[in-house]
Amino acid sequence: MDAVTYPESNIVSFIEENFIPLRINFDNKPHSEKFNVKWTPTLIVLSPEAQEHHRTVGFLGPEELIPSLLLGLGKYYFENDHFDAALGRLEQVVAGYGQSDSAPEAIFLSGVCNYKRSHDPKPLKAAYEKLNSAFPNSEWTKRAYPYRLL
């Protein structure tokens, strides 16, 4: 990723604006053991308290890195019950990177965030319908399948 993804100026700007990047060699103990790093590159989105919220393993090109990191931020906010902030990041994934590998999970989590904010099940069904239309074979569509009945 050093040769292809990281040198891109938009990648550098995005990371500088949203993260405190830290590079640790895969054999740097105890960190590699603590975070169970078995292959490189492994990218982990952590909270300030070092809780893991998102992980990718393997190469990501420039077109996939930003949506993956946005998804990680969305998951961080979601898992800390900051649903409005989570929705902002998840909607960025869908609006700006709607065909990325991160988009189906972002759609799924957007439905869940909207449900948790309102306790209205309609966003869950809407998320399933959007997933079924745009990503019929996605694991996230399969996970949302029961919501079609709402």
Is it true that domain 9-149 has CATH number 1.10.274.10?
Answer: no
pLDDT score recorded for residue 1: 61
Neighbours of 94 (CB within 10 A): 19
**pLDDT of res. 5:** 74
Residues 139 and 113: beta-carbon distance below 8 Å = no
Give the containing element (helix H, strand E) for 98: none
Question: Could you tell me the residue ranges of all domains in the chain?
Answer: 9-149
pTM, to two decimals: 0.93
The angle formed by the CA atoms of residues 135, 19 and 59, to the nearest 5 degrees, is 50
- 94: tokens are 């869908």
Q: Indicate the DSSP class of residue 118.
A: H
**pLDDT for res 4:** 64
pLDDT along the chain (150 residues), means of 10: 76 93 87 90 94 95 95 98 98 98 98 97 98 98 97
- Which amino acid, 86? A
